[in-house]
């Protein structure tokens, strides 16, 4: 989408044809910093330290990480090691695994001297496929926004609440949850987005607000506590979030706090949609609450907050007493029965086994 | 409760017999700063700028503010002006109004030369009454914690989730939501408190964590998004929050985000209690969602976060893009049907017209 009026992606091959460039998202929204990945380690670090985040972008970065690794050493041992190192970076993201498995399978069947070229080509394909998938998610989801618009007085903006960042910064372009919003906005529909700040890492306040603002989409940042109040007062027409992992029965594992918004949506008869690309569906599990391990991250993400200080420099402040314990669960599971529908690249379906299999009939039953 | 091992209150008469001392809560948890109120304006500013906060403490501070005003000028005009200035400081807190009305009524019936002395005496009484009320809330509520303890393996801590700060810092001593926890803890019961950080002002991370830590109560700070996940996994035995305003039918208006936790509690069959002193009940209204105006505060409370920087100095950082709009609704309403019970100084009752009238039979029907 647009940055300073010009189209941009989150990851691309450098002009020299082998380096990989990314936006260092830890510097947003205050600075637009581009970072160059040059080897396996820098790609793994970019994922681990969340310079890139969002399931689809993690997948694309891992694919390019495999390519960078093959450029250094294309042996079977190096291939196995690259897969292992990248897999260990983020335990919850299912299409990290998908991208690595896909790359490994193809490269295993390729002779070592051809592996680097094959890896770059496949990584570029994965990135382009993600863009196409997100664009289709956007087209399908935009219809839901149009339906909401038709129910409102003419010209009044459709109010959409989103949590975390499932925008183009979380993918290669377009985004998942925000793709329908970009498609609707670009088509001239009046939309306004309530942006949950999304503690503890503030991806809403920092990333979603930034990318919506750069593309010209009206939005308002709110504390995560506010959504319920807005829904009680008819100020939200629909919710759209992303998901890091979706079970075969339609449970969604997304950024911590998503579940609370889904509860508020149900209590106030507000539609709650979840947007996802097919590769994030984990067909091997049914019960998200029972079967999805929830990543626990360091407590300092809660205690310490980074932003721009009065001098315009990036600084970090502590908000808790030094002696207080802090817990940091990164995701929660929203049961399928709270989800009004899943927006995929193949259309919108019910959040259920039946709904998902109607769109993905090629997936064999267990 | 204890600070550095010694008992302390949030407001007290200075040794000189006329100044009023408070803890400047905006410096917590990083520094313990005491501030002296010397006139009407400093008392009003302390409330307006939230050096003191919490409905009962606001009431006590307003009462002392009337006393300071009478010391300066005890005329009828000064009395009317003091009431007006103090009333304008915070629109939502119902016992701000209660304390001011109580003081004005008594002082109107007192000859001007005696007004200052009468005002100081009554302010001290209001403060002492608040302490007695909170202590009784604590005793009634502690029984609910004991019941939860009896259901757990012997010696395992009862996990209690709280939102915002309804501890002794929000009152003169003991607190409302935290009073049962202090009583249970002091009686030797094992308790552990999940402390919602409570964006945007972080009263949980800053105040609740600080006061629990100072008193030696085990606790863990979490982002506001986490409570639902904890409840889904059986990690919360009960919730206790405060309320700024309670309707005659038991709806509670409390810090923004309370409603979301009440929804999660109901969805997971976790008891959700609200602790309150009788004076915060607004008998004149029934429907909290319809009738309670919700204070909107400045967006900079969301955009800017204050804490301790790397040099140990209090600093403020911005987390949103400069150009993004921000909304800041300060409270929400939790409907009575989501509340398991109200803990008052007279006992625990159902959150309903019938429940409240059983404890407060002297309140006449409309």
Report residue A261 CA to chain centroid gap: 17
Q: Collapsing DSSP states into helix, strand and coil, what is residue A79? A: helix
Name the residue with higher pLDDT: B295 or A158. A158
When pLDDT is cut at 50, 70 and 90, the band that residue B244 belongs to is: confident
The whole-number average pLDDT for the span A16-27 is 96
Q: How many beta carbons lie within 10 A of that of residue A88, not counting itself?
A: 12
Residues in A touching B325 (Cβ below 8 Å): 218-221
Q: Report the distance separating Cα A215 and Cα A4, nearest Å.
A: 8
Tell me what pLDDT residue B302 has. Answer: 97
Tell me what pLDDT residue A280 has. Answer: 80
- State pLDDT tens for residues B19-43: 999 999 999 999 999 999 999 999 9
CA distance B81 to chain A (A): 35
CA distance A209 to chain B (A): 6
Counting one residue from A and one from B, how many pairs have CB atoms under 8 Å apart? 234
Q: What is the dihedral of CA A288, A289, A295, A299, to 10 degrees?
A: 150
Cβ distance of A315 and B317 shorter than 8 Å: yes
Q: Which residue of A has its CA nearest to B321?
A: A29
When pLDDT is cut at 50, 70 and 90, the band that residue A206 belongs to is: very high
Cβ distance of B327 and A210 shorter than 8 Å: no
Domains, chain B, ordered by start: 2-129 (1.20.120.420), 137-363 (3.40.50.10470)
The shortest CB-CB distance from A224 to any of B218, B225, B326 is to: B225
The whole-number average pLDDT for the span B307-329 is 96
The whole-number average pLDDT for the span B177-183 is 98
Q: Which residue of A has its CA nearest to B328?
A: A222
Q: Report the distance separating Cα A171 and Cα A130, nearest Å.
A: 7
Indicate whether A365 pLDDT > 60.
no
What are the backbone angles phi and psi of residue A95, rounded to the nearest 5°? -90, 5
Tell me what pLDDT residue A92 has. Answer: 67
Q: Which residue of B has its CA nearest to A311?
A: B317
pTM over 0.90: yes
The shortest CB-CB distance from A221 to any of B317, B320, B333 is to: B320
CA distance B330 to chain A (A): 8
Indicate whether A238 pLDDT > 80.
yes
Contact B87, B65 (CB under 8 A): no
Question: Any idea which residues of B carry the catalytic annotation?
Answer: 244
Rama region for A343: left / alpha / beta (φ>0; ψ in -120 to 50; rest)? beta
When pLDDT is cut at 50, 70 and 90, the band that residue A12 belongs to is: very high
Residues in B touching A321 (Cβ below 8 Å): 29, 209-210, 213
The whole-number average pLDDT for the span A314-329 is 96
CA distance A163 to chain B (A): 11
Cβ distance of B222 and A302 shorter than 8 Å: yes
Q: How many CA atoms lie within 13 A of B342 on its CB side?
A: 34
The shortest CB-CB distance from B263 to any of A198, A264, A316 is to: A264
What are the backbone angles phi and psi of residue B235, rounded to the nearest 5°? -95, 5
Helix or strand (DSSP H, E) at A231: helix A227-232
Tell me what pLDDT residue B123 has. Answer: 98
The whole-number average pLDDT for the span A7-21 is 97
Cβ distance of B210 and A264 shorter than 8 Å: no
Q: Which of A251, A256, A313, A324 to mutate to test the interface with B (most CBs of B within 10 A)?
A: A324
Residues in A touching B256 (Cβ below 8 Å): 223, 225-226, 229
Cβ distance of A222 and B329 shorter than 8 Å: yes
Q: Report the distance separating Cα A210 and Cα A185, nearest Å.
A: 16
DSSP collapsed to 3 states, A104-127: HHHHHCCCHHHHHHHHHHHHHHHH
Cβ distance of B263 and A259 shorter than 8 Å: no
When pLDDT is cut at 50, 70 and 90, the band that residue A295 belongs to is: confident
- State pLDDT tens for residues A47-56: 999 999 988 8
Tell me what pLDDT residue B92 has. Answer: 67
Indicate whether B96 pLDDT > 60.
yes
Tell me what pLDDT residue B242 has. Answer: 96
Residues in A touching B213 (Cβ below 8 Å): 321, 323-324
Indicate whether B212 pLDDT > 60.
yes
The shortest CB-CB distance from A259 to any of B228, B294, B323 is to: B228
Indicate whether A152 pLDDT > 90.
yes
Tell me what pLDDT residue A279 has. Answer: 76
The whole-number average pLDDT for the span B159-175 is 97
Contacts 24+ apart (CB under 8 A), B145-154: B145/B180, B145/B181, B145/B184, B145/B189, B145/B191, B145/B238, B146/B184, B146/B189, B148/B237, B148/B238, B148/B271, B149/B189, B149/B190, B151/B237, B152/B237
- pLDDT, averaged across chain B: 96
Question: Any idea which residues of A carry the catalytic annotation?
Answer: 244
Q: Report the distance separating Cα A111 and Cα A204, nearest Å.
A: 44
Cβ distance of A320 and B228 shorter than 8 Å: no
Residues in B touching A327 (Cβ below 8 Å): 194, 220-222, 226
The whole-number average pLDDT for the span B333-360 is 98
Residues in A touching B227 (Cβ below 8 Å): 260
Cβ distance of B259 and A232 shorter than 8 Å: yes
Cβ distance of A319 and B205 shorter than 8 Å: yes
- State pLDDT tens for residues A115-125: 999 999 999 99
Cβ distance of B205 and A315 shorter than 8 Å: no
Indicate whether A59 pLDDT > 70.
yes
Residues in A touching B264 (Cβ below 8 Å): 259-260, 263
Residues in A touching B225 (Cβ below 8 Å): 198-199, 224, 255-257, 260, 332
> Which of B260, B237, B240, B283 has its CA nearest to residue B331?
B260
Tell me what pLDDT residue B35 has. Answer: 98
Tell me what pLDDT residue A155 has. Answer: 87
Indicate whether B365 pLDDT > 80.
no
- pLDDT, averaged across chain A: 96
Tell me what pLDDT residue B322 has. Answer: 94
Cβ distance of B260 and A263 shorter than 8 Å: yes
């Amino acid at each position: 989408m647009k940055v300073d009026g010009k189209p941009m992606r989150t990851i691309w091959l450098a002009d020299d044809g082998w380096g990989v460039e990314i936006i260092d998202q830890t510097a947003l929204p205050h600075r637009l910093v581009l970072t160059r990945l040059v080897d396996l380690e820098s790609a793994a670090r970019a994922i681990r330290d969340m310079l890139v985040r969002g399931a689809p972008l993690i997948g694309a970065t891992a694919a390019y990480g495999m390519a960078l690794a093959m450029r250094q050493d294309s042996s079977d041992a190096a291939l196995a090691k690259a897969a292992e190192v990248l897999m260990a970076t983020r335990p919850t993201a299912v299409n990290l695994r998908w991208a690595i498995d896909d790359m490994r399978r193809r490269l295993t069947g390729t002779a070592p001297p051809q592996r680097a070229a094959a890896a770059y080509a496949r990584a570029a394909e994965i990135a382009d496929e993600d863009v196409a998938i997100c664009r289709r998610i956007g087209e399908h989801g935009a219809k839901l926004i149009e339906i909401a618009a038709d129910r409102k007085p003419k010209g009044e903006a459709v109010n959409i609440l989103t949590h975390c960042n499932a925008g183009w910064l979380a993918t290669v372009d377009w985004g998942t949850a925000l793709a329908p919003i970009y498609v609707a906005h670009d088509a001239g529909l009046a939309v306004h987005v309530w942006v949950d700040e999304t503690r503890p890492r503030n991806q809403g306040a920092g990333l979603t607000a930034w990318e919506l603002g750069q593309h010209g989409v009206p939005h308002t940042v709110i504390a995560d506590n506010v959504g319920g109040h807005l829904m009680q007062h008819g100020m939200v027409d629909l919710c759209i979030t992303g998901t890091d992992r979706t079970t075969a029965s339609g449970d969604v594992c997304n950024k911590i706090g998503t579940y609370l918004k889904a509860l508020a949506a149900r209590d106030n008869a507000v539609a709650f949609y979840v947007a996802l690309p097919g590769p994030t569906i984990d067909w091997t599990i049914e019960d998200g609450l029972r079967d999805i391990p929830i990543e626990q991250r360091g407590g300092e993400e809660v205690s310490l907050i980074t932003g721009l200080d009065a001098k315009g420099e990036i600084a970090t402040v502590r908000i808790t007493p030094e002696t207080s314990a802090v817990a940091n669960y990164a995701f929660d599971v929203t049961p399928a029965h709270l989800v009004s529908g899943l927006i995929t690249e193949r259309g919108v379906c019910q959040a259920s086994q039946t709904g998902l299999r109607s769109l993905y009939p090629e997936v064999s039953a267990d």
